[in-house]
Amino acid sequence: MAKTAIQPTREQDYPEWYQQVIKAADLAENSPVRGCMVIKPWGYSLWENMQANLDKMFKATGHTNAYFPLFIPVSYLEKEAEHVEGFAKECAVVTHSKLELNSEGKLVPAAPLEEPLIVRPTSETIIGEMYSRWVQSYRDLPILVNQWANVVRWEMRTRLFLRTAEFLWQEGHTAHATKAEAEEETQKMLRVYETFAQDYMAMPVICGRKTEGEKFPGAVDTYCIEAMMQDRKALQAGTSHFLGQNFAKASNIKYLSEAGTQEYAWTTSWGVSTRLIGGMVMTHADDNGLILPPKLAPTHIVIVPILHNEDERENVVNYCQKLKAELSQKTYAGRELQVHVDMRDMRGGDKIWSWVKKGVPLRIEVGPRDIASDSLFVARRDEDKKNSIKRSEFVDKVADILQSIQDNLFARAKKYRDENMMEISSKEDFYKYFTPKNEKKPEIHGGFAIADYDGSAEVEDMLRKDLRVTVRCIPLDGGQPKGAKCIFTGNPAKYRAIFAKSY
């Protein structure tokens, strides 16, 4: 077998492969600040493209952006009992407002705050407080606001993009006059996430509802999109919460109804984060590195001039620049084509591998012979072969080729997901499905199991303890039990759920 650009391979050591893909693509790295990552330019460009597309979708559904404080007074967090339970145990606490030299000449915290502040882990409480000031009458509703921000959760075990102490995200927070309207909003935003994941990230997802034990602290219902990674673990890629009147009561968001009565508003919140980048890596990357869906790629096409000697340079470079100029006038998926000519002073082979590892969808190699034959040597990152194509044909068809890459990535990921999803009808089969076949590779296990169960916390606790498997969601499509009984307890079945190990 040919040596791969990423060592180890997925097969050899999946978690380490993931770290190496990120490093080879120069997406991000750990910083000296515990649990905080640095998102490097290539990784941040991906985030910018995600942001731009999501933001358009949020605005198209009537939302505007705003910005709320980074800090939350501890007394606000306390207002919602489940919420404080969920977030107090790992948060960054600000206690002082200056540093002073002590008698040993060391800088130490000084000027203690009257009330400690925490760095927002999520903003329901502080935004709820503001909404309580903004809402007086039914005419002030709905409020449809989103915030792009950084948040902090003091996670003990971190992993680039998937789980970091600080991460970037968006959090939508809406308030409505009626329960039905808030529920509709929750579903609408879930579907926005589904569309974004599938149509932009080329990452198939299952829309579902979380169980009591897995929902957001303080929510009435948490909906999610769940994706399968290439180690067959699940990744929760986005959530949309119906908060009922819980936070409205905690923050006193009240309005005067048309009928003249004082009512509590109904609220929702929904978010996706830089975790999506991790999901994209683990959905598409291979043993040669990153593979980017064209709709989100910072660069669609890289052109590598191939020079055998110096006197070819001017001709080849000019040809490449002209080709770039021509391609840059084309658009794909509403964006001008981003084309880069790699003029670095290094070996052609090294250049080529660097772009393979960065996941650029299309690579064109141009040497004197290609120019002579008026053709281009084109490599699709999603396929293993290179083709010589007539220049004019390529230029004409470039948007179609990019769309075919986008479609291929989605189809391939969906096929993988569907092949690793199994309907299971006995506890024994279920346990067998999730028991590693090879003790040395505990990460190799079944995938997504679909099974009827009684909806009890006892079953969930047992599976978590025995197999480290959780209910990922009760799918919106197909969540009704097929059989009469829970496969674990024999009790009446309540749901048909998706079970998996997860990130």
Contact of 281 with 18, CB cutoff 8 Å: yes
Pick between residue 31 and residue 502 the one whose CB is nearest to a copy of itself: 31
In the complex, least distance from residue 79 CB atom to a copy of itself, rounded to whole angstroms: 12
Amino acid of residue 172: G
Measured from the CB atom, the residue of 118 and 224 that comes closer to a copy of itself is 118
Taking every pair of Cα atoms in the chain, the longest distance, rounded to a whole number of angstroms, is 85
Dihedral sign for Cα 335, 27, 157, 432, please: positive
Pair 280, 201: CB distance under 8 Å: yes
Q: Give the Cβ contact number of residue 204 at 10 Å.
A: 22
**CB-wise, 22 or 168, nearer to a copy of itself?**
168
CB of 2 to a copy of itself, least distance (A): 29
Q: Which is nearer to a copy of itself, 93 or 180 (CB)?
A: 93
CB count within 10 Å of CB 32 equals 6
Supply the minimum distance, in Å, between the C-beta of residue 74 and a copy of itself: 5
Long-range contacts of 432-437 (CB under 8 A, 24+ apart): 434/467, 434/469, 434/501, 435/467
When the beta carbons of 339 and 451 are compared against a copy of itself, the nearer one is 339
356 class by beta-carbon count within 10 Å (0-12 exposed, 13-18 middle, 19+ buried): buried
Give the CA distances from residue 82 to residues 213, 220, 250, in Å, rounded to whole numbers and listed in that order: 12, 11, 11
CA distances from 304 to 180, 300, 319 (A): 56, 13, 11
Q: Which is nearer to a copy of itself, 158 or 375 (CB)?
A: 158
Beta carbon of residue 327, minimum distance to a copy of itself (angstroms, whole number):
19
Which residue shows structure tokens 């028991």? Answer: 435
The least distance separating a copy of itself from the CB of residue 432, rounded to whole angstroms, comes to 40
Q: Which residue ranges make up the site for a copy of itself (CB under 8 A)?
A: 31-33, 36-41, 43-45, 47-48, 64-74, 76-78, 84, 88-100, 107-109, 116-119, 126, 129-130, 145, 149-150, 152, 154, 166, 168
| Shortest distance (Å) from residue 140 CB to a copy of itself | 12
The minimum distance between CB 470 and a copy of itself, in angstroms, equals 24
Q: Which is nearer to a copy of itself, 354 or 470 (CB)?
A: 354
Q: What angle do CA 82, 85, 88 make, to 5 degrees?
A: 135
